[in-house]
Structure 1
Amino acid sequence: MTSNQLAASATAADAALVGELLGRYLLALDDEKLDDAWARSLFTEDAVVTFPMSRHAGRAGLAGWHRASLAAFTRTQHLGSPPVVTVDGDRAAFRANVLTTHVHHPGTDRPPLFRAGTLASGEARRTPAGWRLNALSFEVLFTEGEPPRRT
């Protein structure tokens, strides 16, 4: 293999690892325990996550913030497209489409489902522990149903 081929192979491997971070994040929202170990496995210490209605800066408290956001629903499902990842040394940018279905708690005056189509984008950084998400944001492209009421 030439040096150019080796570099391209390493870049492709890094892009796959960054894409896997987003996939692991989306899957965890639906069926895993969101705790500090979860946050450490995915995010840098100074990560910023921005939802359409709220934002959290820093890894400290990030799991609790996610749990509080998800508590508005009885279940969720997050489906992500394969991300497009651009690696530049120890940093990477990514974008992916995400379709989410949120199931409202029974007994509310809301329709049972709230769906949203979003564009997820962000940045990842190579750390001593491997690639970690440094910035993650979601831009709503469409919704169906009613979101939960703000409390």
Structure 2
Amino acid sequence: MTSNHSPAVATGTADFTDAARVAGLLDRYLIALDDEELDDAWARSLFTDEAVVAFPMSRHEGLAGLAEYHHASIAAFAQTQHLGSPAVVSVEGDRAVFRANVLTTHVHHPGGDRPPLFRAGTLASGEAHRTPAGWRMSELSFRIVFTEGEPPKPA
């Protein structure tokens, strides 16, 4: 996974436009998680066919099944909110790397013995590539910085 991201000096309008499009991929990803609009069209609009999405507790490789993977993860909670900082994006030709801070709040389903909320501060990083359909993420990973509360219990 991509781990070291530093901003590039933009040399023209195209660089800024490409960086904004790449940053928008992460924004759209986070919003869709909270809106639970996770289907194959969503996955194709954000990821390459061979994409890798890695969380500290699990990972998924490939576009096939990616929407279902996310839907199953989100279903563990009654509600979620994902807040992302502006992404720092470095574009070099048809490849870009990015990094952003993400603060997540997960509301547990009612009942049970856990506190109602589980929060996590994470660093999101990844790589995107220009494809015939536009920019798509090929790698997206999250590294936990802190947690508060209890995560869901394993099934």
Q: TM-score, normalised by structure 2?
A: 0.92
C-alpha separation in 2, matches of 1:125 and 1:117: 26
RMSD value, Cα: 1.0
State how far apart, in whole Å, the 1-side matches of 2:58 and 2:28 are. 21
- Out of 63, 78, 89, the position equivalent to 1:59 is 63
SS at match of 2:78: strand
Query: 1:75-115: per-residue Cα shift (whole Å, max 9, x none)?
Result: 00000000000001000000000000000000121100000
Ranges in structure 1 where 5+ consecutive residues have no aligned partner: 1-5
Q: 2:36 touches 2:71 (CA, 8 Å); kept in 1?
A: no
**Structure 1 residue ranges (4+ consecutive) displaced by more than 6 angstroms after TM superposition:** none
Give yes or no for the alignment of 1:147 onto 2:151.
yes
* Counterpart Cα distance in 1 of 2:11 and 2:147: 41
Alignment of 1:1-151 (within 5 A): 7-151=11-155
C-alpha distance in 2 between matches for 1:60 and 1:8: 36
The separation in 2 between residues aligned to 1:32 and 1:76, in whole angstroms, is 9
Going by fraction, where is helix more abundant, 1 or 2? 1
The separation in 1 between residues aligned to 2:33 and 2:79, in whole angstroms, is 10
How far apart in 1 are the matches of 2:11 and 2:105?
39
* Aligned partner of residue 143 in structure 2, secondary structure: strand
What amino acid is aligned across from residue 123 of structure 1 in structure 2? Answer: E
1: CA distance, partners of 2:75 / 2:90: 34
How far is the alpha carbon of 1:73 from its aligned partner?
0.3
Matches of 2:136 and 2:104 in 1, distance apart? 23
Code of the residue aligned with 1:21 in structure 2: it is L
User: Structure 1 residue 7: deviation in Å?
Assistant: 4.8
Q: Percent identity?
A: 73
| Residue 32 of structure 1, CA deviation | 3.7
In structure 2, list runs of 5 or more residues that go unmatched.
1-9
Residue of structure 2 in register with 1:3 after alignment: none
Rg comparison, structure with higher value: 1
**Larger RCO (CA within 8 A; separation ≥ 6):** 2
Aligned residues: 146
